[in-house]
Amino acid sequence: MKVIEYFSAENKEHWLTKIKESDWGAGQYLYELLSKNELKNLVGEKTRVLMLVDGEELISFCTFAEKDDIQPTHLTPWIGFVYTFPKYRGKRLAGKLLEYAGNLAKAEGIEKIYISTGHTGLYEKYGYEFWQMMKDIEGEDSRVYVKKV
């Protein structure tokens, strides 16, 4: 298994098709944004789509971006669209992506990274701490987590 980045991947169409296979609405939205080349316009030009892969299989994916669904905000960067395919769940594989994103942040001199989610108990096991409730772009409450890197 290894982490690759969508925008620098050799076979973007293959990985785009794999993202489309996710059974999650936000995964479908990410697919649409990528296929229309609109993701960076929404969440920032430096956005990376991190993918944990095993050969040609996509195991898990997430974004590492300047913005997420909490906008406007001065907080940055954000990990978003965190998804693991069902047959790989329960093995803490998304943690490999979160660790990779943390290392990216650290290499860029960033001290904290954020996640906006409705989940409780998922990100804590990876060292994230609940910070506060904030409104997302739809006006819904979202739990914002932070991690010092």
Residue 126's CB: how many other CB atoms inside 10 A? 17
Q: For residue 71, what pLDDT band results from cuts at 50, 70 and 90?
A: confident
Report the predicted TM-score, pTM, of the whole model to 2 decimal places: 0.95
68 within 8 A of 134, measured Cβ to Cβ: no
The phi-psi region of residue 104 (left if phi > 0; otherwise alpha if psi is between -120 and 50; otherwise beta) is alpha
Query: What is the average pLDDT value for the chain, to the nearest integer?
Result: 96
Q: What is the pLDDT of residue 72?
A: 82
Assign residue 53 the CATH number of its domain.
3.40.630.30
Mean pLDDT calculated for residue range 39-68: 97
Task: Give residue 47's domain range.
Answer: 2-148
Mean pLDDT calculated for residue range 4-19: 97
Per the structure, how many domains does the chain have? 1
Is residue 73's pLDDT more than 90? no
Alpha helix positions (H), 8-147:
12-20, 25-35, 39-43, 94-107
Mean pLDDT calculated for residue range 18-39: 97
Q: What is the DSSP letter of 20?
A: H
